[in-house]
Structure 1
Amino acid sequence: MTFLALGINHHSAPLALREKVAFSPEGVMAALRDAADALKLDNVAILSTCNRSEIYCYGLDESTRLLDWLSQFHQVNADELRPFHYAHAGDAAINHMMQVACGLNSLVLGEPQILGQMKSAYAVACEAGTVASPLHAAFQQVFSIAKKVRTETAIGENPVSVAYAAVSLAQQIFANLSEQSALLIGAGEMIELVARHLREQGVTRIMVANRTLSRAADLAERFGATPILLSDIPEQLHKADIVISSTASQLPILGKGAVESALKQRRHRPIFMVDIAVPRDIEPQVAELDDVFLFSVDDLKEVIDENRKSREQAATAAREIIDQGVERFLREHNSQGAGHTIRALREQAEQMKQDELRKALRALASGTAPEQVVNQLANALTNKLLHQPSTALRDASAEGRADMLTLAQQLFALDGSQQDKK
């Protein structure tokens, strides 16, 4: 059994395919339990963001069954997913998880939000009861290495994110952002970052739309914005020069007809739109309208690439820390497998010691000289401890098992002593 990490992301698959296998936040727990039952797993977690859907597990020897489950769960043909998916096993899986948590695999190199998303994925899996000792230990090491990377490298300096890139793109469209009004759809962490960046650029007229008014109001209060319901968007859309959307909706929130009506009320003044969500919140057909500049999360790549170069050096240092972390984790994980053997060896040696100690005490009680008793004790214990290994080594030599002889030299540190005698 080994660790596996399987998924698709913005590097491997187009947006149209990624949104087919995205997991809604409210559906992740049911998906985890379904995967655990279908694949007979005690260890499975799911990470689903706007840029990736990934499954981490322990207990499968190969990834084919995991890919088949993903395709069946989302009712997508496995042949459609196969060319675009990736799978990592063993140390490569742990390395991948660490790279994801550190933001090295993100659209924005080093972006910090992904660590929180991975911690959330772990927490949900714990709540679903699909995390046991191996995966728990893996996640703890992943979080530890991510923290080390953040504190010991410059990967988080000059912070950029998808939210930052969206606002930067808006700056390229409008000469003065402070004169524009914005409609933000959603009330999650990404939209909060967008609101912060907009306020920093002087945008004061902001509406926050959400399915529940209370959540919209909580976010709006922090940024001096106006909260509205999603159902109010058609009436308010014409007031927005900038629309940025990031919800967990499985269906589009803005259609071509609603945007077309808003444009008429605006007398065809253009609207800048960024759809960060996966699945998409804004119908792709909206881009066909003449006065709309619609960008998806994939379109932000060019803006983000400009900020990527400054983090490449830090990323190199981060990868070195990750390699060390993977090696340390696997050493600790693999050493647990020796626990039973070590305990059995110690118990056997302890039993031999107690047997010979009783004989020695009886000999002392009968008047045998202490020096003779100690010598007999040492000889008997040495012979007993070495009898079985000596017999096994002679048999191995007779059978031509040079590998076993070499292993014995390493196990009993004989190489150094042999060299000392030369």
Structure 2
Amino acid sequence: MYPNPPSDRPQRRLLALGLSHQTAPVALREKVAFAADRHAQSLHALLRRPGVEEAALVSTCNRTEIYCCVAAGAEGEPARWLAETHGLDGETLRQCLYQHEDAAAVRHLFRVAIGLDSLVLGEPQILGQVKDAWQLAHDAGGLRTGLDRLFQHGFAVAKRVRTDTGIGAHPVSVAFAGVRLAQQVFTDIREATVLLIGAGETIELAARHLVELKARRLLVANRTLENAQTLASRIGGYALSLDDLRKHLPEADIVISATAAREPILYRADLAHALRVRRHRPMFVLDLAVPRDIAEDVATLEDVFLYTVDDLDQVIEDNLRSRREAAQQAEAIVDLQVEHFLGWWRAADRQGLIRTIRAHAERERDAVLARAEQMIAQGKPPEDALRYLANTLTNKLLHAPSASLRAAAQRGDVELFRAAEQLFAGAEPAAEDSAELSTDKAPHEPQHPQETRRTG
């Protein structure tokens, strides 16, 4: 007999669940974050939960997410594990937790990888973080075909979106906008010495962009030398205290400042002196502080290009508008690619049925072939054995579907007939085959050649 037809319910479910800056405050996000040195251990613990077949963890400052493949009926297991692992009340976590299944889970991963779900629309760092999560899950044995294929598809979608749209083409943060503006002034920023004043988040973000652009030399000046040294060590720069600022100022082609000082740190006289030492080679000065770090009258110096945060506001808004337009194009690409992946997933989810049908057919073939070989060994004519083989195997393989179609005809099941027409398209039976299919019984082994010829 053939296996029973599959139900409409999938045997496995794809899940994406977690919390992010959109659903949970930082105090809760901190509690559910996974430390890098315990990532593999956490994955192994999750994979030991009932019904969890594959899993990957994405943990950043803005989100903690679980992507997994679970057996049908185990959809609630990852969320329970997350609460238990971090010692959280289930109800408290549920208030901030989102859980997407199947198509929605696929869509969510694609949007995360592209940056459509990020605090800064289209920011590129999240793709690297998702790739890191995939690599960690791969190394920990948390991925098999389904989830691995999902992540790989997500990376391809993100690459296509960044190639086909402008979602990543424009700066959207103050620091990024300022660095890009500096890049316009200095056509080759790789030849520039950059002086960063401050050691807070804005300066660190600007420093990261400068490192990506391969700025030739980075100087970090801060009131607390230890903080300057910490940042300088991360970016491969040189630390100095504010007391040494004026001595090193002439070395700087680009100055970016963002401190919490209440009074200016650099005055017109400081920049004028630096220009004389530089023989009036131009300086790009970006003041991102509020209140300002650079005295207002510095702008009157002929060879200083001074910009403040107000000068960047319109640039940022224009670029955000451009990214929002690109995001609409990205969503259309996501819609199409979700359907492509789900087509593969549905087919993969039915592979068990296909393998069962093939195994059944191969067992029937082997049994009938063995009997035909036995007939030849007993001295029966080879043509009799071949007819027995062909007739018996045909009837054994088609008995169950023929019976199902007759039953469908009796109950008026038109859909099954339409499905059968698609499945057996182009397989018009010959007249003698139609006669053979009218019986439910497989032919008996022939006893005499004459009988065989009559029934053949």
| Both structures adopt the same fold (TM-score exceeding 0.5) | yes
Selected match of 2:239 from 223, 226, 230: 226
Alignment TM-score, normalising by the size of structure 2: 0.59
Contact 2:203 2:257 in 1 (8 A): no
In the alignment, does 2:326 pair up with 1:314? yes
Take 1:347 and 1:38, find their aligned partners in 2: how far apart are those partners?
A: 31
After superposition, the Cα gap between the structure-2 partners of 1:394 and 1:141, relative to the gap in structure 1 and judged at 3 Å, is same
Take 1:8 and 1:53, find their aligned partners in 2: how far apart are those partners?
A: 6
In the alignment, does 2:142 pair up with 1:133? no
Instruction: Give 1:80 deviation, angstroms.
Output: 2.4
Alignment of 1:5-16 (within 5 A): 5-16=16-27
RCO higher in structure (CA 8 A, sep ≥6) = 1
Take 2:157 and 2:122, find their aligned partners in 1: how far apart are those partners?
A: 13
Q: Deviations over 1:56-111 (max 9, x none)?
A: 11115465433332233223333223222211001110110011001111122211
After superposition, the Cα gap between the structure-2 partners of 1:51 and 1:304, relative to the gap in structure 1 and judged at 3 Å, is farther
Selected match of 1:117 from 129, 140, 149: 129
Residue 326 of structure 1 corresponds to which residue in structure 2?
338
Secondary structure of 1:109's partner? coil
Instruction: Give 1:204 deviation, angstroms.
Output: 5.0
Take 1:350 and 1:128, find their aligned partners in 2: how far apart are those partners?
A: 37
After superposition, the Cα gap between the structure-2 partners of 1:77 and 1:346, relative to the gap in structure 1 and judged at 3 Å, is closer
Take 1:336 and 1:402, find their aligned partners in 2: how far apart are those partners?
A: 27
Take 2:138 and 2:423, find their aligned partners in 1: how far apart are those partners?
A: 39
Secondary structure of 1:156's partner? coil
After superposition, the Cα gap between the structure-2 partners of 1:352 and 1:58, relative to the gap in structure 1 and judged at 3 Å, is closer
Take 2:54 and 2:101, find their aligned partners in 1: how far apart are those partners?
A: 14
One-letter amino acid matched to 1:103: G
Alignment of 1:266-281 (within 5 A): 268-269=262-263
Q: Deviations over 1:20-64 (max 9, x none)?
A: 323333333333233233455331211112221111111154654
Instruction: Give 1:133 deviation, angstroms.
Output: 2.7
One-letter amino acid matched to 1:242: A
Residue 92 of structure 1 corresponds to which residue in structure 2?
104
Secondary structure of 2:55's partner? strand
Residue 183 of structure 1 corresponds to which residue in structure 2?
199
Residue 405 of structure 1 corresponds to which residue in structure 2?
417
One-letter amino acid matched to 2:258: I
How many residue pairs are counted as aligned between the two chains? 346
Question: After the TM superposition, which of the residue ranges 93-102 and 372-381 deviates more from structure 2?
Answer: 372-381
One-letter amino acid matched to 2:93: L
Residue 251 of structure 1 corresponds to which residue in structure 2?
none
After superposition, the Cα gap between the structure-2 partners of 1:21 and 1:161, relative to the gap in structure 1 and judged at 3 Å, is farther
Instruction: Give 1:205 deviation, angstroms.
Output: 4.0
Selected match of 1:54 from 65, 68, 73: 65
Residue 33 of structure 2 corresponds to which residue in structure 1?
22
Contact 1:357 1:377 in 2 (8 A): no
Q: Deviations over 1:316-375 (max 9, x none)?
A: 222222222222222222222333433444455567778589969x99xx99999x9999
Contact 2:51 2:74 in 1 (8 A): no
Structure 2: unaligned runs, 5 residues or longer? 1-11, 181-193, 242-255, 266-289, 294-312, 430-456
In the alignment, does 2:89 pair up with 1:77? yes
One-letter amino acid matched to 1:410: Q
Take 1:270 and 1:69, find their aligned partners in 2: how far apart are those partners?
A: 52
Selected match of 2:403 from 364, 379, 391: 391
After superposition, the Cα gap between the structure-2 partners of 1:186 and 1:147, relative to the gap in structure 1 and judged at 3 Å, is same
Secondary structure of 2:52's partner? coil
Question: After the TM superposition, which of the residue ranges 20-29 and 97-106 deviates more from structure 2?
Answer: 20-29
Structure 1: unaligned runs, 5 residues or longer? 169-177, 229-239, 244-262, 272-289, 294-300, 418-422
Alignment of 1:282-321 (within 5 A): 307-321=319-333
Instruction: Give 1:137 deviation, angstroms.
Output: 1.8
Take 2:371 and 2:136, find their aligned partners in 1: how far apart are those partners?
A: 56
Question: After the TM superposition, which of the residue ranges 1-10 and 331-340 deviates more from structure 2?
Answer: 331-340
Q: Deviations over 1:356-396 (max 9, x none)?
A: 89969x99xx99999x9999987776555433311221123
Residue 258 of structure 1 corresponds to which residue in structure 2?
none
Alignment of 1:347-362 (within 5 A): 355=368
Contact 1:44 1:125 in 2 (8 A): yes
Residue 277 of structure 1 corresponds to which residue in structure 2?
none
Alignment of 1:155-194 (within 5 A): 155-160=167-172, 164=176, 181-184=197-200, 192-193=207-208
Secondary structure of 1:47's partner? strand
In the alignment, does 2:165 pair up with 1:153? yes
Percent identity of the aligned residues? 36
Take 1:209 and 1:49, find their aligned partners in 2: how far apart are those partners?
A: 29
Contact 1:8 1:53 in 2 (8 A): yes
One-letter amino acid matched to 1:339: Q
Q: Deviations over 1:241-263 (max 9, x none)?
A: 636xxxxxxxxxxxxxxxxxxx8
Take 1:117 and 1:217, find their aligned partners in 2: how far apart are those partners?
A: 23
Alignment TM-score, normalising by the size of structure 1: 0.64
Question: After the TM superposition, which of the residue ranges 9-18 and 111-120 deviates more from structure 2?
Answer: 9-18
After superposition, the Cα gap between the structure-2 partners of 1:402 and 1:43, relative to the gap in structure 1 and judged at 3 Å, is same
